[in-house]
């Protein structure tokens, strides 16, 4: 008898091809409020994300974002303001040209979709009315609505691929969820 092809095995969902839900418990999303201030409570790693995450508390609760290079616990960040500082969350129309940004929203209010991998960033190239053009890491220029939000700076965790993994077992346990 033959063997199931890999697509069939994945569709069936055996232990080898089942997503570990514990790796993706944390939802990365911006706060609903457009203007405010938050404090970084904790910086930590999870197996579901390649970049370290920041737990941020503000007056109405807690939210999580990918950590910015140079962030420290206890630091204050602003969302919706005009101050250009690493870690601040701003609308694209308020960000000056040639500024590094990451975690960009595709549509206003969707919580950030683009550029979340460790060490990556995009650059604001031009602003035309309510449209903002951003140079992505792939060197393609993408157009966004000016009301979409992004974080100033670049994602922490840039040295992840500098050290070779060497053997398959190490790669297996890096990707495996901690319980």
Instruction: Sketch out the chain's domains with CATH numbers.
Output: 25-158 (2.30.30.30)
Yes or no: say if 37 and 13 are a contact pair by the CB < 8 Å rule.
Answer: no
Two tokens, residue 109: 């209010």
Residues of the chain below pLDDT 70: 22-23, 177-179
Two tokens, residue 87: 């870690």
Q: Taken in order 164, 47, 115, 62, is the CA torsion positive or negative?
A: negative
Provide the pLDDT for residue 32: 83
Provide the pLDDT for residue 87: 93
What predicted TM-score, i.e. pTM, was given to this entire model? 0.82
| Phi, psi torsion values for 43, nearest 5 degrees | -115, 130
Provide the pLDDT for residue 162: 82
Provide the pLDDT for residue 121: 96
Report how far apart, in Å, the C-alpha atoms of 96 and of each of 10, 15, 31 are: 46, 48, 22
Provide the pLDDT for residue 98: 96
Q: For tokens 């938050």, what's the residue?
A: 38
Render pLDDT for 102-113 as a digit per residue (tens, 0 to 9).
999 999 989 899
């Amino acid at each position: 008898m033959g063997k199931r092809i890999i697509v069939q095995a994945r569709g069936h969902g055996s232990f080898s091809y089942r997503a570990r839900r514990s790796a993706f418990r944390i939802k990365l999303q911006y706060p609903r409020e457009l203007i405010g201030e938050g404090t970084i409570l904790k910086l930590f790693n999870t197996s579901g994300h390649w970049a370290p995450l920041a737990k941020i508390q503000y007056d109405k609760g807690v939210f999580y974002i990918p950590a910015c290079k140079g962030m420290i616990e206890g630091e204050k960040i602003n969302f919706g303001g005009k101050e250009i500082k690493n870690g601040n969350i701003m609308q694209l129309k308020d960000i000056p040209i040639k500024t590094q940004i990451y975690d960009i929203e595709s549509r206003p209010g969707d919580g950030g979709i683009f550029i979340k991998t460790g060490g990556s960033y995009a650059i604001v190239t031009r602003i035309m009315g309510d449209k903002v053009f951003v140079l992505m890491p792939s060197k393609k220029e993408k157009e966004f609505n000016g009301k979409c939000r992004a974080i100033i700076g670049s994602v922490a965790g840039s040295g992840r691929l500098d050290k070779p993994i060497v053997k398959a077992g190490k790669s297996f346990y890096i990707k495996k969820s901690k319980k």
